[in-house]
Amino acid sequence: MSESSSPWYLYIIETSKGHLYTGITTDIERRFSEHLATSNHEQGAKGARFFRSQRPVKVIYSEAHINRSDASKREAAVKKLTKRQKLTLLRT
């Protein structure tokens, strides 16, 4: 990764209902906080709509990518996996 660009991260969050949410960001802690604000129905929250009906519990997986394009491609691939396949990914 070059010095001038921030890495992008693929992340998976486990929810209060046991679902898995997959996304990308340059700052996992900030993005988790945004998702948490959405689940708390805070005014102006920037988290995914997914979290309006279930609370994010914790980030259970992350991997770094050199740029947004690579992270987006990986996100698309991971989102196609079944929950069982995602859980296998977490163990590797």
The pLDDT tens digits of the residues spanning 39-72 come to 878 777 787 778 888 899 999 999 999 999 999 9
Alpha carbon distance 13, 11 (integer Å)? 7
What's the count of helices (H) and strands (E) in the chain, helices before strands?
3, 3
| pLDDT exceeds 60 at position 1 | no
pLDDT given at position 51 = 86
Under the banding of pLDDT at 50, 70 and 90, the label for residue 38 is confident
User: What pTM did the predictor assign?
Assistant: 0.87
Yes or no: domain 8-91 corresponds to CATH 3.40.50.2300: no
Q: How far apart are CA 37 and CA 57, in angstroms?
A: 12
Q: What is the CA radius of gyration of the chain?
A: 13
Domain ranges of the chain: 8-91
What sign results for the dihedral spanned by CA atoms 8, 9, 15, 18? Answer: positive
